[in-house]
Amino acid sequence: MMIQFALVMSVVVFLIAAVGFIYTYSIGRNQKLQGEYDTEINEKVQEHPYLRNPVFLAYIIAGGAALVSIIYFALNYSW
């Protein structure tokens, strides 16, 4: 009973993380810049704007943790 609850909650957490990531990504792409930059953006950040964004990294890490927990519970559950 408890394993089923944990599995369902893991799936729910993974779905929430995935939807949040997609929503944040779409908002970031559609946002129009207003005003000017105060300073130049580092070239490394310009080359990889999504990998250098902590919000996207948090979603990727949370999604990975949810996926690992789902796989762990699925493998350790005796069917």
The one-letter amino acid at 20: G
CA separation for the pair 4, 66 (Å, rounded): 15
Greater confidence (64 vs 35) lies with: 64
Residue 67 lies in a domain: yes
pLDDT, position 65: 92
CA separation for the pair 61, 57 (Å, rounded): 6
Domain that holds residue 74: 49-79
**Number of structural domains found in the chain:** 1
Residue 79 lies in a domain: yes
Residue 13 lies in a domain: no
Integer CA distances (angstroms), 11 to 5, 6, 47, 53, 69, in order: 10, 9, 33, 25, 9
pLDDT, position 15: 92
Residue 36 lies in a domain: no
5-44 pLDDT per residue, tens? 888 888 999 999 999 889 888 877 776 655 555 667 777 7
Q: CA 63, 69, 74 angle in degrees (round to 5)?
A: 125
pTM: 0.44
pLDDT, position 35: 53
